[in-house]
Amino acid sequence: MQTNMYLGCNHLSVRFYQHRKKIVDDITLSIHPGEKLLILGPSGCGKSTLISALSGIIPEFLDAEVTGEVVRRERAGVMFQDPDSQFCMLHVDEEIAFSLENRRIPRGKMDEMISDVMDKAGLNIDKRTSIESLSGGMKQRLALACILALDPEVLFFDEPTAQLDPQGRIEIFELLKNLSRQTGQTMVFVEHVLDGCIEWMDRVILLNKDGRMIGSGKPEEVLREFDAEIKEAGIWRPKLFPVKWNDVVENHDHPVSAELTRFIETRSEEHRFVGGNPMIRVEDATIGYGKKAIVQDLNLTIHKGEWISIVGKNGSGKSTFLKSLARLESLRKGKIYFLEKELSKWPDVELYEKAGFVFQNPELQFIADMVFEEIAFGGRQRNWTEEQIQEKTHQLLREFGLEAHRDAHPFTLSLGQKRRLSVATMLLFDQDVLLLDEPTFGQDEKTAKELIKKLKERQAQGTTIIMVTHDMNLVDQCSDKVLLLKNGKAAYYGTPYSLFMNEVLLEDSSLVPPLHYKLVHARKELSLV
Amino acid sequence: MKGNHSWLSSLNPACKLFAHLLVMFMLMAISDFRETLAIWLLAVAIGISIGGWRISYLLKRLLPYFGFFVMIFWMMAAFGKGEETIWSWAWFHVTKESVSHGLTISLRMLGFVTYGLLFTSTTDLTSFIMSLIHQCRLSPKWAYGLLAGFRFIPLFQSELSQMKAAHKIRGYKQKNSWKAFARYSLPLFTQGIRKSERIAIAMEARGFTGSRDRTYYQTTKLAGKDFVYFIGLMVVVFGVWMAGFVL
C-alpha cells in the first residue's frame, strides 16, 4: 500500500452484519488533495457505504465488517441527502455552534466563526432564524455551514440535492463549485443527477450493483465508455456535457444544435390533444390552508383525457390546489365542479371511485401489510366478491410489474416499486382522474421513465392526468396543458409550447425551459446583439 | 416553547421551574379554597405584571380550563357529602362542605395549569435544556437528544395528516380508535426510528460524543434576580398558607 496516500482505500470490502453479501467489494482508490471525485452507481450499489467508510462513519458509528485498509483524514465533514434529519437544534446559529462546541472552541470565538461559515455557505439570513422555516435548499446550505464549521480537510456529499427541486439543486451545485474554486477543498460526491456537478469534477468512478468498481477516469471518458451501464443504473445523464452550451448556440452546424432545432420544429407543428367533455371546472376559486389564501380567482376547465401539469415555485400553492381538486383541502371561496356536479356534493365513496390521488411520499399512503392487499383494499371495503378482487388486483399487479412481490410488505419494496404500487392502488376502480403530487421526485431516471410510460398508457385509455411537477422536460413531453401558479394567481394556462416560448414569463417565474427552447431564446438574444 | 421578552423570561429556566413545582406541591397540601384562590390569583398577577401576558392571551389560554373548572366544581359540589345543606333538588344535594371542596379542587386544577403556563409561555426551549445541563447536571447526551427529538413533533403532525387523507381516499372507515391508532402509529414509528438513526449519525459525524468535555454557545447562570424571584414567590405563597392558620 502506498505510504503517502492522502485519502483512499486498498482492497476495501464492507459487509453489514445482517446481510450475507458484501455491499462494497474489493475497492482500491486513492484520492489526491484538492481532487473532486464523483462516485456513480445504481441504487443499493454501496456508494453511500463507500463514502461512510472513507469518512470514518463506518466502523465508528455504524457497525459493519470491514476488510482491507482505509486511509482517512482526521477532520472530515459529511453532508447527507435528507435536509430534515441532520439537525438537532432549533435555530440556525445554535446549529452551527453545535459543530464548534464539539470541537471545544472557546465561546469568545464562536460568533465570528458562525458569521464566517454562514457567508461561505451563502446563508444570508438572520442567524436567529428557526430551522423549521427554511426551504430545502436553505437547509442544505445550513448543513454545509455546519460541516464547514468543523474545519474539515475533506468534504463528503451523499446525494446532497436528491431532496431538492431543480432550482435548489442548481443553487447548491453553483455554491459548491464556487467554494471549491476558492478553497481548493477536496470533495467526494455521490450523486444521481449529473447536470450541474459533472462539469467540474476531476474524476468519476462507477460501481456496479455488486459494489465493484467497473470504471474510473475523466468525466467525459467514463460517460462515453459506460453509457449503457450509466443508463441502466438509472442515473440522470447530463443533457449537454461534455458539449459546451456556447458552442451549441454559436455554431449552427453543431450536431446537438441541429438536433435541438429539429426537435423544436416538430414541437411547433405538433397539435396537442384537445380533450372531450369537461371533467373538472374551477370557478372563481380561492384556495389556501389554515387562514391563509394562497391562490385567488382560479378559473379553468380540465377536459376528459387531458394531461395537465401544474408548475410554479415552492410554496406557490401547487400541491394545495391539487389537494383541493380531490377535496383534501377545502376551498376558501368559489366552486369546483367535478363531472358537472359540485365537488362538495359528492359522497366520499363515489368521489374516490372516480378520482385517485398519488401522494409525494408513497410510504405515508400505504395502509395494508401486503402488496396484494394494498391494491385490493378499496374492493374489500366495498364488499366485492373474492373473484372480482382477485381478477382486478392481478391485472394491476401485472400492469405495474409487481407480481413477484405480491406477498411482500409494501415498505420492503425498492423506491421505484413503492412509487408504482402507490399509483396502482389508485387505479383499482379505473379512476377517471388521477392526481399526482410530484410523482418523479427523488426517483432515478429509469424508474421515472417507467412510471411515465405507464401513465401514458393509462392516458391513452382515457384517464385524465393532473400532475404537480418541477421537471420541465416532463411537462414538455407529456402534458397537453400547463397551469403556472405565480404570486397567488394563475399566470398561465395553455400548451407547454407557448409557455416555453414566452421568455418574459419564464424569467418572471424562474422556470428553466428544456434545452431546445433555451436554444431558441439564446439565438434570439445573439441576433439582437 | 418560546421566550417572550418579559422579565420572567430573563430568569434561569431551571430555577423558575423548581419554584413553580414547589408552589404546585404547596397547592396540593392546601385544603382551603380561599388560600387556593389567592395563590391562583398570584399566578395571574405575576403573569400580567412580569410575565408579559396580555388579558386577551390569558383569556384565550385559560378559557378551556374554565370549562373544566365549572365541571369539576359542579360534580364535587352537587354530589359531595356534607352536613349543612344549602340547596337540594332531585338527586342534587349541595352542602356547605361540598361547595368548599369543589372550589378547592377546581381552583387547585386552575392553579396547576396557570403556574405551568407561566413557565412554558416565558421559557425558551433551548435555554431550558441548557439550564438542565448547567444547573441540574443533565448529561449533554440526553439534553441534545431531547432537543433533536423536539424537532420531530411538527414533522409527525404533517405526516399524520397526510396519512389520514390517504386513508380517506381509500375509503377506510375508522371503526374503533385503537385500531386506527395502531394503523397510523406503525408507519410513523418506522419513519421516526429511521429518521432518528440518521440524525444520530449526523450528530456523531459532526464530532458529538455526549461527554461533558465540550464548550457551550449558550450558557445559563444563576443570578441575583433568580433568587429574588424564588424567595419572593416562596415567601408570599407560604405566607398565604400560614395566614389560613392564623385567621
Interface test with A, best of B123, B125, B159, B170 (most A CBs within 10 A): B170
Name the pLDDT band for B162 (thresholds 50, 70, 90).
Answer: confident
What is the mean predicted confidence (pLDDT) over B53-76?
90
Residue B193: closest CA among chain A residues belongs to which residue?
A: A85
Residues of A in contact with B127 (CB under 8 A): none
Q: Record the cell numbers describing residue B62, joined without a space.
A: 385559560
**Best interface-test mutation with A: which of B129, B153, B169 has the largest number of A CBs within 10 A?**
B169
Report A:344-363 residues touching B (Cβ under 8 A).
348-349, 352, 356-357, 359, 361, 363
Of A42, A142, A133, the closest CA to residue A94 belongs to A142
* A122 vs A101: CA distance, rounded Å: 22
Cβ separation B207–A150 shorter than 8 A: yes
Which cell numbers hold the place of B109?
386544577
Closest CA to A373 of B179, B170, B174, B162: B170
How far separated are the first and last CA of chain B, in Å rounded? 41
Q: Which of residues 126-155 of A touch B (CB under 8 A)?
A: 131-132, 146-147, 150
The CA distance from A162 to A241, in Å, is: 20
Extract the residue ranges of chain A whose pLDDT is less than 70: 1-3, 269-275
- Asked whether A6 and A33 are in contact (CB, 8 A), the reply is yes
pLDDT band at B89 (very low <50, low <70, confident <90, very high): confident
A510 neighbors A336 (Cβ within 8 angstroms)? no
The closest alpha carbon to A156, from A230, A32, A19, A52, belongs to: A52
Contacts of residue B27, Cβ cutoff 8 Å, sequence gap at least 6:
B36, B39, B108, B111, B112, B115
The rounded radius of gyration (Å) of the Cα atoms in chain A is 25
Paired with A489 in beta bridges are A486
**Rounded-to-integer distance, Cα A324 and Cα A318, Å:** 10
A381/B190 touch (CB, cutoff 8 Å), yes or no = no
Contacts of A364 in chain B (CB under 8 A): 159, 162-163, 166, 187, 191
pLDDT band at B145 (very low <50, low <70, confident <90, very high): very high
Residue contact B208–A82, C-beta within 8 A: no
Q: How close is the nearest chain A Cα to the Cα of B57, in Å?
A: 19
- Among chain B residues, the shortest Cα distance to A98 is held by B217
> How far is the C-alpha of A215 from the C-alpha of A269, rounded, in Å?
43
Per-residue pLDDT, B237: 94
ipTM of the complex model:
0.85
Report how far apart the first and last C-alpha atoms of chain A are (Å, whole number).
Answer: 58
Nearest CA in chain B to A109: B217
Q: Which residue in this structure is represented by grid cell 391539487?
A: A322
- Tell me which residue of A210, A208, A199 sits closest to A246, measured CA to CA: A199
Q: Which residues of B touch A131 (CB under 8 A)?
A: 151
A101 burial via Cβ count (<10 Å: 0-12, 13-18, 19+): buried
Q: Burial of A181 by CB count in 10 Å (0-12 exposed, 13-18 middle, 19+ buried)?
A: exposed
Q: Who's near A468: CB < 8 A, 6+ residues apart?
A: A309, A310, A311, A318, A319, A322, A436, A437, A438
> Looking at the complex, does the CB of residue A22 fall below 8 Å from at least one CB of chain B?
no
Contacts of residue B211, Cβ cutoff 8 Å, sequence gap at least 6: B140, B141
Q: How many CA atoms lie within 13 A of A501 on its CB side?
A: 9
Residue in B125, B145, B195 nearest the CB of A90: B125
Half-sphere exposure of A342 (CA within 13 A, CB side): 8
In this complex, the residue of A57, A61, A110 whose CB is nearest that of residue B217 is A110
Selecting from A78, A86, A89 the residue whose C-beta is nearest the C-beta of B126 gives: A89
3-state secondary structure string across A12-49: EEEECCCCCCCCEEEEEEEECCCCEEEEECCCCCCHHH
CA distance B124 to A247: 57
Q: To which residue does cell 408570599 refer?
A: B236
Q: What share of chain A is helix, strand, coil (3-state, %, to 5)?
A: 45, 25, 35
Identity of the amino acid at A482: V
DSSP string, A38-103: EEE--TTSSHHHHHHHHHTHHHHTS--EEEEEEE--SSEEEE-S-GGGS--SSBHHHHHHHHHHHT
Task: Give alpha helix (H) positions in chain B.
Answer: 13-29, 33-49, 55-79, 96-120, 125-136, 140-150, 152-169, 177-205, 224-246
Chain B residues in contact with A78 by the CB 8 A cut-off are: 202, 205
Cα dist from B43 to B27, B63, B72, B118, B214, whole Å: 12, 16, 20, 7, 38
The pLDDT of residue A73 = 92
Grid cell for residue A216:
474510473
Q: What is the DSSP letter of A330?
A: -
Q: Name the strand (E) or helix (H) holding A116.
A: helix A107-120
Q: Are A206 and A42 in contact (CB under 8 A)?
A: no
Task: Give contacts of A162 with chain B, Cβ < 8 Å.
Answer: none
Furthest-apart CA atoms within chain A: distance in Å: 76
Q: Are A151 and A74 in contact (CB under 8 A)?
A: no
In whole angstroms, what is the distance from residue B118 CA to residue B10 CA?
13
Q: Which helix (H) or strand (E) holds A255?
A: helix A255-269
For residue A367, give the nearest of B170, B199, B206 by CB distance. B170
Give the residue from chain B lying closest to A113, CA to CA: B217
How many CB atoms are located within 10 Å of the residue B56 CB? 8
- Counted across chains A and B, CB pairs separated by less than 8 A come out at 143
Q: What is the pLDDT of residue A30?
A: 94
Residues 6 or more apart whose Cβ sits within 8 Å of residue A173: A161, A196, A197
CB < 8 Å from B in window 411-430 of A: 411, 425-426
Farthest CA pair distance, chain B: 71
Name chain B contacts of A328, Cβ cutoff 8 Å. Answer: 165, 168-169
Distance, in Å, from the CA atom of A202 to the CA atom of A359, rounded to the nearest integer, reads 39
Q: What is the SS3 assignment for A129?
A: coil
Read off the pLDDT band of B78 (50, 70, 90). confident
Give the gap in angstroms from C-alpha B226 to the nearest C-alpha of chain A.
24
Contacts of A103 in chain B (CB under 8 A): 207
Q: Contact at 8 Å (CB) between A151 and A116?
A: no
Q: A55, A81, A87, A101: which to substitute to probe chain B, counting the most B Cβ within 10 Å?
A: A101
Residue whose C-alpha cell is 342534587:
B92
Which one of A62, A425, A426 has the shortest CB-CB distance to B201? A62
Q: Which amino acid is at B180?
A: A
DSSP B143-156: HHHHHHHHTHHHHH
Dist CA A40 CA A230 (whole Å): 8
